[in-house]
């Protein structure tokens, strides 16, 4: 394929790369005062990239996809769908940031620095490369581009000890995970003689040597860290609690989608001929994440830490679809991811809207007592998100769980599905605890009314999506997910 065609296929990344460099210059020249302009331009660039990704997703001419740069990068419906989710999450994370940072500074707008949207843009570039990577080299470049931006974002509030601690923990443990991943990649290259996913898959067809098996295990361990799956989840609660809430919103959505999509592509395209070698690993990680995520959330008093464990718990459910190792499982994972992004964005924006009379962020669950009386609309939205995250019908979150369990049953993983269903009951407890505090505890009168229209719009849209009205979208979402999942199995 010519260089011109390759550049056309990577149009979303080119748009964001050019925009990121331009915004970096504007921020350097304009200083703090340029933060609003940089944010608007960053959102515009992300919308432009989303439009291109949507065109690639819906245009029948790209049904079979195409490889760029001599097999290093693949444009297909799977990558386009996950990029859309990443870009939407990035847009929301930028839109909700100014009000948070302004309040942190006590009303001084200088704290909203132009570097924030620039870092989000560069992270989105890396994640776009991750979901389209079909070579270990592209995988690592995209992953590190995302990670380097994420380390800075986690510690963005330099005068906040919690933020600095979150950034340091994320950096140290992230560096360790990257080292594990790189070691696994070197083993795969050493024992297969290639870094291309399809070529690795072909090499595995003739048998899996001990060295290559260790390489597979190390690569999956590195990816488990990136998706915050057990037993590599230890960083998640501390980073989610310590990082600024808009950053936590970003971490819980976009990087999660990118890492899960990359894990899917690795397992199916690179390791697809040795399903038995990795299926049992995924099953263990899925069950452990479900149980540890649910059990760990029960004793939490901070809403952000609770949502961190909820994220771990939901990753476990999503991985059940991967354990099925078939197209139905991949499609179920994608539908679950679409619903998960809406639930998580809505939950964290609702948390961001919890403010006391001094404008400080309210994070303690006990402070939400009586919220149904002082902020009935916000309390209702949080209740919808909690019930949906728990997978309680008729909310749309139930549909995502139903699909992954159905895929597991179809793959004869009946015990896995049964254990997953049983463990989901544990998760319902801590979600209901939040609702009980809001609706039945004596009012704490801590949270005051918010005047943020952008937050209200985002919360309302997410709540509508995960409400029973979301079931009307099943034909559309299911069709898109089926096509995206089929793209993963196209070359097999």
pLDDT at 184 over 70: yes
Does 209 fall in a domain?
Answer: no
Report helix, strand or coil for 106: coil
Residue 469 inside a domain? The answer is yes
Q: Is the pLDDT of residue 492 over 70?
A: no
Enclosing domain of residue 358:
272-492
Tracing tokens 């819906």 back to the chain, one arrives at 58
Eight-class DSSP state of 442: P
Mean pLDDT of the chain: 89
What pLDDT band is residue 404 in, cutting at 50, 70 and 90?
A: very high
Percent of the chain past pLDDT 70, that is, above it, reads 97
Query: Is residue 157's pLDDT more than 90?
Result: no
| pLDDT value at 413 more than 70 | yes
Per-residue pLDDT of 24-40, as tens digits, reads: 999 989 888 888 899 99
The pLDDT of residue 153 is above 80? yes
Task: Please report the pLDDT score of residue 487 as a whole number.
Answer: 87
201 CB burial (10 A radius; 0-12, 13-18, 19+): buried
278-313 per-position pLDDT tens digit: 999 999 999 999 999 988 888 888 899 999 999 999
In a domain, 348, yes or no: yes
| H/E element, 465 | helix 453-466
Sequence length of the chain is 492
pLDDT at 109: 41
Confirm if 396 and 468 have CB atoms less than 8 A apart. yes
Q: How many domains does the chain have?
A: 1
- Is the confidence at residue 141, as pLDDT, over 80? yes
More confident of the two residues 162 and 77: 77
Residue that wins the pLDDT comparison between 259 and 452: 259
pLDDT at 324 > cutoff 80: yes
What three-state secondary structure class fits 326? coil
Q: What does the alpha-carbon distance between residue 422 and residue 125 come to, in Å, rounded to a whole number?
A: 39
Mean pLDDT across the stretch 151-173?
Answer: 86
Q: Are strands 66-68 and 73-75 parallel, antiparallel or unpaired?
A: antiparallel
Instruction: Report the pLDDT averaged over residues 368-395.
Output: 89
Confidence of residue 362 (pLDDT cuts 50, 70, 90): confident
Q: Which residue has the higher pLDDT, 424 or 91?
A: 91
Asked if pLDDT for residue 361 goes beyond 60, the answer is yes
Residue 129 lies in a domain: no
Mean pLDDT check: name the lowest of 85-94, 104-113, 227-236, 382-391: 104-113
Q: Is residue 127 part of a domain?
A: no
* pLDDT value at residue 208: 85
- Whether residue 39 lies inside any domain: the answer is no
Higher pLDDT, 65 or 238: 238
Give pLDDT, residue 1: 56
Does residue 4 lie within any of the structural domains? no
Answer yes or no: is pLDDT of 121 > 60: yes
């Amino acid at each position: 394929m010519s260089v011109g065609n390759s550049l056309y296929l990577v149009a979303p990344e080119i748009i964001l790369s050019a925009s990121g460099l331009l915004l970096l210059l504007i921020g350097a020249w304009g200083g703090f005062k340029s933060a609003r302009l940089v944010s608007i331009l960053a959102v515009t660039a992300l919308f432009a990239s989303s439009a291109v990704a949507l065109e690639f997703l819906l245009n029948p001419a790209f049904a079979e996809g195409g490889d760029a740069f001599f097999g290093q990068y693949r444009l297909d419906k799977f990558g386009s769908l996950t990029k859309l989710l990443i870009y939407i999450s990035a847009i929301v994370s930028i839109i909700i940031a100014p009000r948070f940072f302004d309040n942190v500074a006590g009303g001084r707008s200088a704290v909203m620095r132009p570097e924030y949207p620039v870092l989000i843009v560069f992270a989105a570039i890396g994640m776009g490369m991750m979901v389209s990577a079909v070579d270990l080299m592209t995988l690592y470049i995209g992953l590190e581009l995302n990670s380097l931006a994420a380390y800075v974002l986690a510690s963005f509030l330099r005068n906040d000890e919690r933020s600095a601690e979150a950034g340091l923990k994320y950096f140290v443990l992230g560096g360790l995970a990257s080292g594990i991943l790189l070691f696994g990649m070197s083993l795969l290259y050493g024992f297969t003689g290639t870094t291309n996913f399809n070529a690795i898959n072909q090499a595995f067809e003739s048998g899996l040597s001990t060295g290559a098996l260790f390489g597979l295990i190390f690569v999956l361990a590195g990816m488990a860290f990136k998706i915050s799956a057990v037993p590599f989840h230890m960083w998640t609660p501390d980073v989610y609690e310590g990082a600024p809430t808009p950053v936590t919103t970003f971490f819980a959505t976009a990087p999660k989608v990118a890492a899960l999509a990359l894990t899917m592509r690795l397992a199916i395209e690179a390791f697809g001929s040795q399903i038995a070698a990795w299926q049992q690993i995924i099953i263990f990680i899925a069950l452990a994440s479900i149980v540890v995520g649910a059990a760990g959330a029960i004793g939490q008093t901070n809403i952000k830490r609770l949502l961190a464990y909820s994220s771990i718990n939901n990753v476990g459910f999503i991985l059940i679809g991967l354990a099925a190792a078939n197209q139905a499982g991949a499609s179920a994972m994608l539908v679950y991811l679409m619903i998960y992004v809406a639930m998580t964005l809505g939950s964290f924006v609702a948390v961001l809207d919890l403010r006391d009379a001094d404008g400080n962020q309210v994070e303690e669950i006990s402070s939400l007592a009586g919220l149904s009386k002082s902020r009935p609309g916000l309390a209702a939205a949080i209740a919808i998100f909690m019930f949906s995250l728990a997978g309680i019908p008729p909310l749309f979150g139930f549909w995502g769980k139903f699909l992954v369990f159905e895929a597991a049953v179809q793959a004869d993983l009946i015990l896995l599905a049964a254990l997953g269903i049983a463990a989901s009951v544990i998760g319902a407890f801590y979600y209901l605890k939040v609702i009980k505090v809001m609706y039945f505890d004596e009012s704490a009168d801590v949270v005051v009314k918010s005047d943020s229209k952008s937050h209200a719009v985002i919360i309302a849209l997410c709540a509508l999506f995960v409400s029973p009205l979301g079931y009307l979208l099943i034909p559309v979402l299911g069709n898109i997910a089926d096509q995206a999942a089929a793209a993963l199995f196209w070359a097999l």
